[in-house]
Amino acid sequence: GEIIHLEDYRPTDFVLERVDLTFELDPTETKVEARLIFHRREGVSADAPLVLDGDELTMTGLLLDQEEIAAANYDAAEHTLTIRHLPAAAPFEITITTQINPEANTTLMGLYRTSNVYCTQCEAEGFRRITYFPDRPDVLAVYTVNIIADKASTPLLLSNGNYLGGAGMGDGRHFAAWFDPHPKPSYLFALVAGDLGVVEDTFTTLSGREVALKIYVEHGKEPRATYAMDALKRSMSWDEERFGREYDLDIFMIVAVSDFNMGAMENKGLNVFNDKYVLADPETATDADYANIEAIIAHEYFHNWTGNRITCRDWFQLCLKEGLTVYRDHEFSADQRSRTVKRIAEVRHLKAEQFPEDAGPLAHPVRPTKFREINNFYTTTVYEKGSEVTRMIATVLGADLFKKGMDLYFERHDGQAVTIEDFVACFAEVSKRDLTQFSLWYHQAGTPLVSASTAYDAARQTLTLSLEQMVPPTPGQSSKEPMHIPLRIGLLLEDGTEAQVTSVSGAEMTGDVLHLVERKQTVVFAGITSRPVLSLNRGFSAPINLHFEQTPADRAHIARYESDLFARWQALNDLALPNLVAAAASAKAGKPVHCDASLIDALLAAAADGDLEPAFRAQALSLPSEADIAREIGGNNDPDAIHAGRQQIMSAIAKAGQTIFEKLTDEMVVSGPFSPDAASAGRRALRNTALSYLVYAENQPARAVDAFNAANNMTDLSQALTILAHRFPESAEAAQALATFKARFADNALVIDKWFTIQATIPGAAALNRVTALMADPLFNGSNPNRVRALVGTFAFSNPTGFNRADGEGYRFLARQILDIDTRNPQLAARILTSMRSWRSLEDVRAGHARNALRDITAGKKLSADVSDIVERMLK
């Protein structure tokens, strides 16, 4: 495919006024009639043709105002339909008839079939697989949709908006009509038809309108949709309270399907979900599953205002809806659960996924300026870094001005397709701040590195903080401007209280926010009566890497006294990382691994501190991951050494804390019937963390076997199984537990995905043979994205020692899988391939194997645009 550039954006020549669609559904021969009313935009020359997008379409009819268009007046090419000699000024109607084959559609884009249900996915460019259309987000129109299908097999006929009516047609078929009064871009169109069960409820909006809520799932699975319904109602209330946003149709529907490329899709009034993010009950869903369902239900619902009512002018503006909506769902979860624990989870995820992307060959700005395949830009940079940038706007402006800016945005741009510049302008206007420098967060890729050092002057009672920032080069951006970095800070005195600063010079401060804006900046805090400990980047106020040589004693001081609990967790991490890095080096050199007493003391103090909520303590005890350690080391990585070193640090902590961990496994028992609430989940998390340490200390499986047998919920069961399989992979106990689990859940594909994932992530070189064997299991299905992600995806993304085998077999395996998956589902193939994005930071032998495997992919014939875009950028 060719490269599309932001600077080439032009509005369409023709304005689309109305869309009328009629679907005659058939598994292999669906007929689509699209009636489109256009008029020529003012100022556009009278001979400009109408050019519509299309992809894999068979056109069977083309009319202008109900008259057949002569062959000489149009061209149907592979990806466009061009129509000439159209009216100069008056509106006209184009009627296009196309025929499509949903059954044969394995890409899961456009109209496809999943478990006998017709389903569409149109974002980003799937609508053009249904009919010829101006398939771009700045074309907003009002849609009427008629659906005709066989009544017995397809009783349910759904589309966007409000239901107009329907009836039988006398020939065994029936029809339903829907009208969506809100102008929308084609990517928000949806149609679902089939035979499904439903869970129903209602919601009364703040202004008193009653909305029908319906969640459609496979028959028999209705009881597993009740938590999703609860999450939906809480999301609707929260958006009213926090952002003043009400729902705007008579009905809101969610449909769960089992074949889906992503998590979910925010089609107007008709969200379509991967069933993984709808279905839950205590026996089959973990606490993490419940939290994900809550977050994704909220996310898609929140899109109704941030994405649907106000949409993107073009796909370069994707972060306008995604970054903002992720920020909104993060805030929702923080309000529903523990704010600190939520923030820790967000930052862990950001560092594990976005930081590596920003540091590798796929790095791109939050608001990119060019792309070859838009599907490859639904990235953690656009989503998660985009959310962090929104969070920083709130930090820079303060809560009140942020709210004012959001209100202005909703008021000014409702019904429009806009840009990041439009969004930022609202905040600049209400705050009277120049946000030009701040906007570099949208335009410069790469994670800024901030280096800090402090000097205390007892005689002058001042603390001098020297800051320096550097944004590393990224593909296409070799040199960068200094950014506006909002750093929340605290100065902790020896007794743990905060220093009362009398004045600050050298930087703007707003509350506890220090504004770093220069490349180098020296800040002096006065009135400080004794040497303080600086806590920098509280709450992870800026998504940066920080280079700040603090002593273990200072870090331990923060871990003990900070009023910002996130900063306490951060300090524990900062204590752990140097130990883990040194441990990897020792393991590599065959030397004994050493663990500082200060780390062990601080971790165990947090573990035993009954004033801290259990979920926080569980996070505190979870050491940085092997990927975190690799990132800290920076290059020439040996995943085996990192793994071995980390194991030994775990053992040292486990042995030192054995009595505390034993006590916790008793204290944290959750009694009574299962409840997925955050407090109960936190107790389970702490108990399972303690259990995992105890198994390290004892180095035998008995305790995990007992936990597996005693478990009465999926969180405890899957944790116990993970411990058994990962720590004692060759044991009879692990084999027995895996077999029991499989037999018990063989009819529940979402639970079997956990069984695949646990085995795909067993550390060590033997993992590859296990994965290969599991692919032949009758429960595996290479065309279902959830199965493929659970087995092949987690192996590549989350098994550093298994995937990065020194002999390169892991990479060659992945290359073969990518070529195979690409023949069916290019989007899925491209996404899984990004697991190799950090290949250049491996030691030479592994990096060489990885490069060769990537080259093998480029040699594949007929690569999709999705995969060739990723592989070429990774090899550049």
Residues in the chain, how many?
A: 876
Cis peptide before 737 (omega within 30 of 0): no
With CB under 6 A as the contact rule, which of the stretches 121-129, 231-239, 398-406, 672-680 interacts with ligand HT7? 121-129
| CA atoms of 571 and 620, how far apart (whole Å) | 10
For strands 173-184 and 141-150, give the pairing.
Answer: antiparallel
With CB under 6 A as the contact rule, which of the stretches 142-150, 258-266, 356-364, 684-692 interacts with ligand HT7? 258-266
| CA atoms of 597 and 487, how far apart (whole Å) | 30
Inter-CA distances, 367 with 299, 331, 443, 789, 823, Å: 20, 22, 6, 27, 30
- Contact flag: residue 262 with ligand HT7 (CB under 6 A): yes
In the complex, minimum distance from the CB of residue 783 to ligand HT7, in angstroms, rounded to a whole number: 15
Give which of ligand HT7, Zn ion, none residue 9 binds (C-beta under 5 to 8 Å, depending on kind).
none
With CB under 6 A as the contact rule, which of the stretches 98-106, 190-198, 257-265, 615-623 interacts with ligand HT7? 257-265
User: Toward Zn ion, which CB reaches closer, 26 or 331?
Assistant: 331
User: Toward ligand HT7, which CB reaches closer, 682 or 785?
Assistant: 785
| CA atoms of 662 and 654, how far apart (whole Å) | 10
In the complex, minimum distance from the CB of residue 292 to Zn ion, in angstroms, rounded to a whole number: 14
In the complex, minimum distance from the CB of residue 364 to ligand HT7, in angstroms, rounded to a whole number: 16
User: Toward ligand HT7, which CB reaches closer, 261 or 395?
Assistant: 261
- Contact flag: residue 121 with ligand HT7 (CB under 6 A): yes
Nearest CA-CA partner of 232 in 288, 294, 309 = 294
- Contact flag: residue 123 with ligand HT7 (CB under 6 A): yes
> How many other CB atoms sit within 10 Å of the CB of residue 548?
17
User: Toward ligand HT7, which CB reaches closer, 308 or 545?
Assistant: 308
In the complex, minimum distance from the CB of residue 417 to ligand HT7, in angstroms, rounded to a whole number: 15
Give which of ligand HT7, Zn ion, none residue 761 binds (C-beta under 5 to 8 Å, depending on kind).
none
Strand partners, 114: 117
- Contact flag: residue 638 with ligand HT7 (CB under 6 A): no
Active-site residue, 300 included? yes
User: Toward ligand HT7, which CB reaches closer, 231 or 607?
Assistant: 231
In the complex, minimum distance from the CB of residue 102 to ligand HT7, in angstroms, rounded to a whole number: 16
User: Toward Zn ion, which CB reaches closer, 236 or 499?
Assistant: 236
Q: Which of 157, 191, 265, 652 binds ligand HT7 (CB under 6 A)?
A: 265
SS3 sequence of 545-560: EEEECCCHHHHHHHHH
With CB under 6 A as the contact rule, which of the stretches 117-125, 652-660, 769-777, 804-812 interacts with ligand HT7? 117-125
Which alpha helices (DSSP H) does 338-491 contain, by range? 339-349, 355-358, 380, 386-397, 399-413, 420-431, 440-443
125, 300, 357, 384: which one is catalytic?
300
Q: Which of 299, 337, 683, 849 binds ligand HT7 (CB under 6 A)?
A: 299
State whether residue 779 is helix, strand or coil. coil
Inter-CA distances, 558 with 52, 295, 346, 628, Å: 60, 31, 21, 21
- Contact flag: residue 410 with ligand HT7 (CB under 6 A): no
Interacting residues of 394 by C-beta distance below 8 A, sequence separation 6+: 402
Give which of ligand HT7, Zn ion, none residue 275 binds (C-beta under 5 to 8 Å, depending on kind).
none
The interface with Zn ion within residues 308-347 (CB under 5 A) comprises 322, 325
Give which of Zn ion, ligand HT7, none residue 124 binds (C-beta under 5 to 8 Å, depending on kind).
ligand HT7
Q: Which of 261, 387, 541, 761 binds ligand HT7 (CB under 6 A)?
A: 261
With CB under 6 A as the contact rule, which of the stretches 172-180, 298-306, 762-770, 801-809 interacts with ligand HT7? 298-306
Give which of ligand HT7, Zn ion, none residue 221 binds (C-beta under 5 to 8 Å, depending on kind).
none
| CA atoms of 710 and 644, how far apart (whole Å) | 31
Largest CA-CA distance found in the chain, in angstroms, rounded: 95
In the complex, minimum distance from the CB of residue 197 to ligand HT7, in angstroms, rounded to a whole number: 22
Give which of Zn ion, ligand HT7, none residue 499 binds (C-beta under 5 to 8 Å, depending on kind).
none
Torsional class of 539: left (φ above 0), alpha (ψ -120 to 50), beta (otherwise) = left
Whole-angstrom Cα Rg for the chain: 28
What is the contact mask toward ligand HT7 in residues 341 to 380, using x (rule: CB under 6 A)?
-------------------------------------x--
Interacting residues of 723 by C-beta distance below 8 A, sequence separation 6+: 691, 692, 695, 701, 704, 707
| CA atoms of 578 and 628, how far apart (whole Å) | 11
For strands 156-159 and 191-194, give the pairing.
Answer: antiparallel
> Which amino acid is it at 735?
A
User: Toward Zn ion, which CB reaches closer, 325 or 794?
Assistant: 325
Count residues contacting ligand HT7 (CB under 6 A)? Answer: 13
Core vs surface per residue 218-247: b (16+ CB within 10 A) or e: beebbebbebbbebbbbbbebbbeebebeb
In the complex, minimum distance from the CB of residue 254 to ligand HT7, in angstroms, rounded to a whole number: 13
305 and 243 in contact (C-beta within 8 Å)? Answer: yes
Count residues contacting Zn ion (CB under 5 A)? Answer: 2
Give which of Zn ion, ligand HT7, none residue 149 binds (C-beta under 5 to 8 Å, depending on kind).
none
> Which amino acid is it at 586?
S
Give which of ligand HT7, Zn ion, none residue 265 binds (C-beta under 5 to 8 Å, depending on kind).
ligand HT7
- Contact flag: residue 300 with ligand HT7 (CB under 6 A): yes
What are phi and psi for residue 439, nearest 5 degrees? Answer: -60, -15
- Contact flag: residue 322 with ligand HT7 (CB under 6 A): yes
In the complex, minimum distance from the CB of residue 265 to ligand HT7, in angstroms, rounded to a whole number: 4
With CB under 6 A as the contact rule, which of the stretches 16-24, 201-209, 259-267, 533-541 interacts with ligand HT7? 259-267
Give which of ligand HT7, Zn ion, none residue 261 binds (C-beta under 5 to 8 Å, depending on kind).
ligand HT7
256 and 226 in contact (C-beta within 8 Å)? Answer: no
In the complex, minimum distance from the CB of residue 442 to ligand HT7, in angstroms, rounded to a whole number: 18
In the complex, minimum distance from the CB of residue 738 to ligand HT7, in angstroms, rounded to a whole number: 32
118 and 102 in contact (C-beta within 8 Å)? Answer: yes
Q: Which of 33, 125, 259, 266 binds ligand HT7 (CB under 6 A)?
A: 266
Nearest CA-CA partner of 418 in 320, 524, 271 = 320
Both tokens of 508, joined, read 């703007």
Chain-centre distance for alpha carbon 683: 26
Q: Which residue is nearest to ligand HT7 (CB)?
A: 262
| CA atoms of 853 and 841, how far apart (whole Å) | 16
Q: Which of 34, 124, 149, 420 binds ligand HT7 (CB under 6 A)?
A: 124
In the complex, minimum distance from the CB of residue 314 to Zn ion, in angstroms, rounded to a whole number: 17
> How many other CB atoms sit within 10 Å of the CB of residue 876?
9
Nearest CA-CA partner of 107 in 96, 116, 119, 92 = 119
Interacting residues of 702 by C-beta distance below 8 A, sequence separation 6+: none
The interface with ligand HT7 within residues 444-463 (CB under 6 A) comprises none
Residues that bind Zn ion (CB under 5 A): 322, 325
Summarize as ranges the residues that interact with ligand HT7 (CB under 6 A).
121, 123-124, 261-262, 264-266, 299-300, 303, 322, 378
Catalytic residues: 300
